[in-house]
Amino acid sequence: MTRVGVVVIDGIALGGVLVAGLIWIVLGGLPYTPQRMSDSFQALEDVTPAAQATVELCASIPCVEAWQTGVGNFLRFDSDAVAESWHIVIGGDSYRNGSVVLDMNGLTLTPSERKLAAELLFPGREFG
pLDDT tens, residue by residue, 24-76: 454 455 444 445 666 665 555 556 778 899 999 999 999 999 999 999 999 99
Residue 80 has a pLDDT of 96
Q: Do 117 and 54 share a structural domain?
A: yes
**Residue 127 maps to a domain:** no
pTM over 0.85: no
**Which of the pair, 124 or 46, is modelled with greater confidence?**
124
Residue 123 pLDDT grade (very low, low, confident, very high; cuts 50, 70, 90): confident
Label residue 32 exposed, middle or buried (CB < 10 Å: 0-12, 13-18, 19+): exposed
Beta-bridge partner residues of 102 = 74, 95
Domain holding 109, by residue range, is 37-121
58 plus 18 within the same structural domain: no
Indicate if 19 and 72 belong to the same structural domain: no
